[in-house]
Amino acid sequence: MYRTHTCGELRLNQVSTSVTLAGWVQTVRKFGSITFVDLRDRYGITQLLFGEALQPVLDAQPLGREYVITVTGTVQERSNKNTQIPTGDIEIAVEEFKILNKSAVPPFTITDDTDGGDDIRMKYRYLDLRRNAVKKNLELRYAVNRAARNYLHEQGFMDIETPFLIKSTPEGARDFVVPSRMNAGEFYALPQSPQTFKQLLMVSGYDRYYQIVKCFRDEDLRADRQPEFTQIDCEMAFVEQEDILQMFEGLIKHIFKAVKGIDYTEKVERTTWEEAMWMYGNDKPDIRFGMQLTNLKFPQHTFVNKQVAVPSTTKGNAEHAALESDFAVFNDAETVIAIAAPNCSEYTRKQTDELVEWVKRPQIGMKGLAFIKCNTDGSFKSSIDKFYSEEKLAAIAQACGAQKGDLILLLAGAEERTRKAASELRLEMGKRLNLRNPNEFKLLWVLDFPLFEYAEDDNRWVARHHPFTSPKPSDIATMINNNPAIENAAKYLEHPYANIKANAYDMVLNGNEIGGGSIRIFQRELQEKMFAALGMSPEEALHKFGFLLGAFEYGAPPHGGIAFGFDRLCSILGGSESIRDFIAFPKNNSGRDVMLDAPSSIDDKQLTELSIKLNLA
Ligand code: ASP
C-alpha cells in the first residue's frame, strides 16, 4: 500500500499511530545525524524525521527535491511546532521508505513565492500546478462549478452537451476552423458559443438548459483573453427578461454564498446602457464607488460618436452655463468631463503632476488635465484660475456635486476619447483611493443595449450582441419598416436603426462584465428581417442559418438566456486580475500553449489526407 493517510491529515490525536504516507519531497534538511524531510501532496505537508539508523540508507539513496517517495513510520509530537501549517504539531518518525521515482532538479521552486517567471512556469505548467497558490485557484474554480451545477439542478435545468464540430455560431469573433478529411475542401467551425444549439433545444422542449462549456473565439488577444474559454451557458423557454434577471441573480448569489460565504441580500442594482455610458463612461461600471462623471458640455444632446441619448436625470443647462469663459481649450473641445475625487483637495503638486502624466500616457491619450481644488475652508484653487473666477469655479463644483475637500479633475477633448479617458481616470482614482476593495462584491444589471452597432469599415449594421437577439417590442416596427441601408455614413446616427434597443442584458460585477444574454427572436419572419438588416442576402441567411429558420417553423416557444464567463467569474471571486491563474492549462498572450508548443505544423502526409496545400507568404 502506498499510503494510509494524506500529507494534510495527521494531528496530535493520532500520535503513536503507524502510518504510511506518499508524496513529493519539498525540502531535505540534514542536522548532524538526523534528517528532516517535508513531504507534500495535494492535501498538505507533513514533516518526516529520518533518525540515525536510517542515515546510511539515505546516504546510499539520497533524496532530492520533487522525488516521489512512500514512507512508513509512527506519528509523534514535534518538539519544535510549526503553527503555520495544520500538521505542524506532529511529525513521522520514519521506519522505512522507498523512492518511487526520482526527479530532475525542477526549473523553479515549487513554493508560494516561487522564483519562476511566467514563461518558465507555463512551460512546466505541470510543476506550477503543484504549487499551493495555483491549487487554491483550481479548488475555487471547482467550488464555483459545483455551486452553479447545484443551483441550476435545483431549478430544474438539464445539462445537455452540444457538439464542437459545427458550423459558424457568430458571436462577433473569427471562427477557429477544422478541416474535414472525409469531406475534402470542407471545414467545421468550432463554436464561439452553443448559441444556436441551445435555441434549438428550446424548440425541442427542453425548457431549462445549461452547460459549463468551452467556447472558441479567434480574436486578437487583448490582455487577459483566452482563445478557448469556459461559459456557464443557459437558456430558458417561456420567459421574459424579468424572469431571466431573477433566475440568474439567484445563481450568482448562490455562488457567492457557497464559495465565499457571502449573503448578498441587497437588491441587485440596474441601470440602462445609456445611463451607464453617461455616468461612468463605459457599459460595465464599477459601482463599488461613486465619482460619477459630469458632462459639462452638450448636456442636452446625444453623444457625438455613439448611439447615446442623455438620460433625463442629467441636470442639463446648469453645467453648461458653469463653463462659460474665454478658455479656448474648453470652448473648442467637443466635450468637457469632470470627476470630483473625494478628499483629495490637498493633493501636492507632485501628486497632481503625476495624474497629468497618467492621462498623457499613450493608452489614455489626453493632452492634459485641469484641476479645481475645493478647499475645506470653502475657497477654490485651480489650474485654470486665469479663466475662471472664484464664482465660476464654485458653479462648476456645484454642477459636479463636489464637496469641500474634493479635487475636481477636468478632461477636455474629442467626445469618445475623452469619455473613455474619464472612465479610465475614474477607475484609476478609485484604485488610488482604495475604493475598489477586492473583498467587496457589487452586482449590476446593465439593460437596454442598442440592438445594432455601426461598422464603419463595411458601412453597415452589425448585431451588438448577436443576430438572434430580439429588438424591444416597441422597436420592432422601426426595424421592419425601415431600409437598413446607410446613405450617408457621416450621419449614421440619424438612421432610425441607431436608436433601436435590444432585449439584452449584461451582468456586471465590480466593473467586469461577467455575463450577458438576451431574449431571442423566435419567429422565422422576424429572424429573416434581422439577417437582412445585417446585410445578409436571403440565400446567405439560408445557407448559414437555414436549420434555425427551419426550426422556427415547427412551434418555437418564446425563449431567452444568458452565458457567464466562468473563468472571469472565478478570477474575480479569487481576487485576481488574471483569468489564466484559474485555468489549468492556459494559453499565452499570442494564443500559444508553450508547454505543448501548439499550434504547430503538421506533416505533409496529414496535409495531403486533408486535401490542403499551404500558401505561406
Ligand atoms: N451566446 C451568448 C454569448 O456567448 C450568450 C447568450 O446570448 O446567451 O455571449
DSSP 551-603: HTTTTPPPEEEEEEEHHHHHHHHTT-S-SGGGSSS---TTS-BTTTTBS----
| Cβ-proximal residues to 100 (8 Å cutoff; 6+ apart), any chain | 2, 22, 68, 69, 70
Specify whether the CB–CB gap between 409 and 339 falls below 8 A: yes
What amino acid occupies position 326? D
Instruction: Note the pLDDT of residue 380.
Output: 95
Residues of the chain with pLDDT under 50: 300-318
What amino acid occupies position 280? Y
Instruction: Note the pLDDT of residue 415.
Output: 84
Please report, for residues 13, 40, 138, the alpha-carbon distance to residue 89 in angstroms, rounded to integers and kept in the order given. 10, 16, 28
Cα(86)–Cα(200) distance, integer angstroms: 51
Instruction: Note the pLDDT of residue 356.
Output: 97
Cα(403)–Cα(409) distance, integer angstroms: 13
Residue 188 is placed in which grid cell? 467545421
Q: Which residues line ligand 1 (CB under 6 A)?
A: 171, 193, 195, 516-518, 561-563
Q: Which helix (H) or strand (E) holds 301?
A: none
- Which residue has its alpha carbon closest to ligand 1 atom 4? 193
Q: How many CA atoms lie within 13 A of 502 on its CB side?
A: 29
Helix (H, G, I), strand (E, B) or coil at 238: coil
Cα(142)–Cα(258) distance, integer angstroms: 11
Instruction: Note the pLDDT of residue 320.
Output: 59
Cα(435)–Cα(339) distance, integer angstroms: 15
Q: Which helix (H) or strand (E) holds 65?
A: none
Query: Which among 190, 212, 231, 564 is the best mutation to test ligand 1's pocket, defined by most ligand atoms within 8 Å of the CB?
Result: 231
Instruction: Note the pLDDT of residue 298.
Output: 59
Q: Which helix (H) or strand (E) holds 254?
A: helix 241-255
Specify whether the CB–CB gap between 345 and 376 falls below 8 A: yes
| pTM (2 d.p.) | 0.93
Domains defined along the chain, listed by start: 12-101 (2.40.50.140), 289-436 (3.30.1360.30), 450-501+523-556 (no CATH)
The neighbouring-strand residues paired with 27 are: 38
- Which residue has its alpha carbon closest to ligand 1 atom 3? 563
Please report, for residues 48, 58, 254, 354, the alpha-carbon distance to residue 242 in angstroms, rounded to integers and kept in the order given. 59, 68, 18, 45
458 alpha carbon, distance to own chain's centre: 29
Query: Which among 213, 466, 506, 518 is the best mutation to test ligand 1's pocket, defined by most ligand atoms within 8 Å of the CB?
Result: 466
Instruction: Note the pLDDT of residue 617.
Output: 82
Helix (H, G, I), strand (E, B) or coil at 112: coil
Residue 421 is placed in which grid cell? 479617458
Looking at ligand 1, which atom is closest to the CA of residue 235?
8
| Residue 197 CA to ligand 1 centre (angstroms) | 11
| DSSP character at residue 174 | B
- Which residue has its alpha carbon closest to ligand 1 atom 7? 517
617 alpha carbon, distance to own chain's centre: 35
Query: What share of residues in the chain are helix, strand, coil (percent, to 5)?
Result: 30, 25, 45
Residue 241 is placed in which grid cell? 427578461
Question: For the chain, how far is it from start to end, CA to CA, in angstroms?
Answer: 59
- Which residue has its alpha carbon closest to ligand 1 atom 1? 195
Instruction: Note the pLDDT of residue 314.
Output: 41
Residue recorded with cell 442623455: 310
Rg (alpha carbons) of the chain, rounded to whole number:
30
